A = this chain, B = another copy of it.
Amino acid sequence: MNGAESLVRTLHAGGVEVCFANPGTSEMHFVAALDRVEGVRCVLALFEGVVTAAADGYARMTDKPAATLLHLGPGLANGLANLHNARRARTPIVNIVGEHATFHRRFDAPLTADIEALAGQHSAWMRTSENSLTVAADGAEAIAASLSPPGGIATLILPADTAWGEGGAIAPVPAIPARERVDEAAVRHVAGLLRSGEPVMLLIGDKTLRGRGPELAGRIAEATGARLMAPMSNARMERGAGRVAVERVPYPVDVALTKLAGIRHLVLVGAVAPVAFFGYPGKPSELKPVDCDVHVLATPAQDGIDALTRLADAVNAAGTPPPLAPASRPALPNGGALDPAAIAAVIGALLPENAIVVDESITTGRDFFRATMGAPPHDWLQLTGGSIGIGIPLATGAAVACPDRQVVTLQADGSGMYTLQGLWTQAREGLKVLTLIFANRSYEILKGELAGVGANPGPKAHDMLSLDRPALDWVHLARGMGVEAARAETPDALIRAIRAGLDAPGPYLVEVVL
């Protein structure tokens, strides 16, 4: 078999079931090989930023890597912003980038680029395959590398002749190391802090925001008086009624510092120490009191759940009832303006059980997290790397991963425009995604940031933050890509539109006009 087929068969044997693709000439043998291998679903996207974020969303829900298929350096470049986010989410991805045939590279053809220079900083592992005999083994290593704790992007660069050359054979996936168990000394050290009487905060992140993580951390906090928080942005949180509600470090520096005031010991469990999103004149970069010590119980690559289990035992918290969020939904608004508070209430009231929420709501969504705390259990996926334009495609990948669950995308309009092409893939694949576009028709967050950095804006500056000349019409944009859509300008209309969207068999978009 040729190299492409050996690679596709290796991916399949290694558990890669989905390939998100925007292929070109150099990837044609890979695409052709998909016809000869059952069991790898190929999902087409019309822009590479959709490909990479969809792979991210898929793996956040399955803990298995999807493959991407990108066309040469420029195709990779278009996908980099969402690979940046995926790297920050520690998402396993087998990132396949086509390259010119090895004999063709030296001629500097128009599409020639230094692919390794572009992909290096996003990749936990990277290799350019040398020939069709080894490409399958390279793919097998890529799978293992992507899944090695804490999880990351494995970039496999595939010169076209490694795909069309013969002599390929399926390669076995190397052993994937288990998450490292935390030293007993680290557990004892943190247990000592918790018993010291000094103010302690547990900051739990990554996989400890799922499964037994929040519950264990909640028991420990309850038993010891420690406080409990999560990082500002997280790949996936399991939350809702009957689960421990974990508050997040706020975005504004001053608010975050107030929130963490008085903490003497910050204990990291699968998280890194919180830092400000941006540097501001005269403000600190580290979001903790100056006299607060930072302690690592478990890195994101270590087994945080095991560490929390042992820590709960060490502080006699294993039997302490965790503070579970009671089932509770906001009341549906009765008339009034369609402002962020009303929107939050509607979402909190209507969010279906077991929903997957993708949150790129930026300014409009500041109350959404609180308003859904007591909604039926659900997952909450965030923008992890700050590179806007993740929501629509991340939701697309999550829906491919979980066809039986409703995906709800909470999407700011400015950010949504970066990767709106993902709506077409939702239509093509018939995915159950309800997208709420919050149309404030501005880069609203930047108006606050202008003040935050001490800039003194005039009319030209404000004009650069306004998206209302002309107003984007998201109903037209959605229909242009085959997605049914409605506009809501009142709370009642929003309620009706969300109900219609949840009833729809496929994707549905609501333009929520603020």
Contacts and interface: CB of A to CB of B under 8 A. Distances in A.
Interface of A: 21, 23-26, 28-29, 31-32, 34-36, 42, 44, 46-47, 49, 73-75, 77-78, 80-81, 84, 88, 100-101, 103-104, 107-111, 113-114, 117-118, 120-121, 160-161, 164, 232-233, 272, 275-281, 285-286, 384-387, 389, 414, 417-418, 420-421, 424, 427-428, 446, 449-450, 452-461, 463-465, 467, 469-482
A509 to B, nearest CB: 11
Contacts of A101: 278-280
Contacts of A281: 161, 164
B460 A46 contact: no
A110 B101 CA distance: 36
Given A100-B278, A164-B281, A386-B110, A449 B25 contact: yes
Given A417-B46, A453-B28, A278 B109 contact: yes
A23 B110 CA distance: 29
21 contacts: A23-B446, A28-B453, A29-B453, A31-B464, A34-B461, A35-B461, A46-B418, A47-B417, A78-B418, A101-B279, A107-B275, A107-B286, A108-B275, A109-B277, A109-B386, A111-B387, A161-B281, A420-B420, A428-B470, A472-B480, A480-B480
A75 B77 CA distance: 11
A477 B481 contact: yes
A101 B464 CA distance: 22
Given A110-B88, A117-B121, A46 B467 contact: yes
A455 B164 contact: yes
Given A111-B385, A424-B470, A450-B28, A77 B77 contact: yes
Q: Name which of A74, A80, A459, A479 has the most chain B CB atoms within 10 A of its CB.
A: A74
Contacts of A418: 46-47, 78, 421
Give the copy number: 2
Nearest to A82: B74
Given A160-B279, A385-B111, A28 B449 contact: yes
Nearest to A114: B121
Nearest to A118: B118
Contacts of A446: 23-25, 28
A450 B24 CA distance: 9
A168 B449 CA distance: 22
Contact of A276 (B109, B114, B481): B109
Given A31-B457, A78-B418, A103-B285, 19 more contacts: A23-B464, A29-B455, A31-B460, A32-B456, A34-B460, A46-B417, A73-B84, A74-B387, A77-B387, A104-B276, A111-B278, A111-B385, A117-B117, A118-B121, A424-B472, A470-B482, A473-B481, A476-B479, A477-B481
B73 A464 contact: no
Given A476-B477, A480-B476, A480-B480, A42 B464 contact: yes
Given A275-B109, A386-B110, A446-B23, A81 B84 contact: no
Contacts of A73: 84
A84 B113 contact: yes
Contacts of A75: 81, 387
Given A78-B49, A80-B74, A453 B107 contact: no
Contact of A386 (B111, B118, B458, B482): B111
A454 B480 CA distance: 35
Contacts of A32: 450, 455-458, 461
Given A29-B453, A277-B111, A455-B32, A21 B480 contact: no
A276 B112 CA distance: 11
B421 A457 contact: no
Contacts of A453: 25, 28-29, 160, 164
Contact of A279 (B103, B475, B481): B103
Contacts of A47: 389, 417-418
Nearest to A29: B455
A278 B160 contact: yes
Contact of A78 (B81, B424, B449): B81
Nearest to A453: B28
Contact of A452 (B25, B31, B477): B25
Contacts of A81: 74-75, 77-78
A299 to B, nearest CB: 14
Contacts of A472: 424, 480-482
A104 to B, nearest CB: 3
B74 A77 contact: no
